[in-house]
Amino acid sequence: MFTRTNGRKSDTLDATFSYPETSKVSTARVESSGRTALITDQVEIKGTLAFDGPLEFNGIFEGEIISQGTLTIGPEAVIKAEIHAAKVIIRGKVQGNITATESIEVCDNAHLFGDVRTNKFIVAEAALFRGRSDPIEGKTESPEFSPTFRRLTKSK
């Protein structure tokens, strides 16, 4: 049921939709041919989004995003998802863990709440990041600092 208010009175529109039988998996697939695909700020999606190539997402999303391309999360976007992509650029708000094979960039005024796994992680000065970051190859060993600290304490 949809309700529309045009300022004077309220109209109610009853709509019944029938869709052909499809598989129960709710997966949206976006393919682009060299150009960036765009999902505007008037779109809300819940489920799994899979795509190849570059995609700029400006809407609201909840679920899982899978890609071997570049995901740009626009400034109007609000996303609650597990994200797996080659490259992720965040300009909006994201809650969820991100794994990127190339890089993750959190731009000015963006918000990221979740853990990241990538080889290159960039966080702008005016961005907000709450979570952990790990390299994608696994845990790296921290360098041994104790000889340096011993040398500094002996010079007194």
pLDDT at residue 84 tops 60 = yes
Residue 148 backbone dihedrals phi, psi, to 5 degrees: -65, -45
Alpha-carbon gap, residue 66 to 68, rounded angstroms:
7
pLDDT at residue 66 tops 50 = yes
Q: 17-57 pLDDT, tens per residue?
A: 333 443 334 444 454 456 778 888 889 999 999 998 999 99
- As a whole number, the mean pLDDT across the chain is 79
| Backbone torsion region of residue 80, taken as left when φ is above 0, otherwise alpha when ψ lies between -120 and 50, otherwise beta | beta
pLDDT of residue 46: 95
pLDDT of residue 137: 73
| Domains of the chain, residue spans | 25-137
Q: 90-116 pLDDT, tens per residue?
A: 999 999 999 999 999 999 999 999 999
Alpha-carbon gap, residue 61 to 81, rounded angstroms:
7
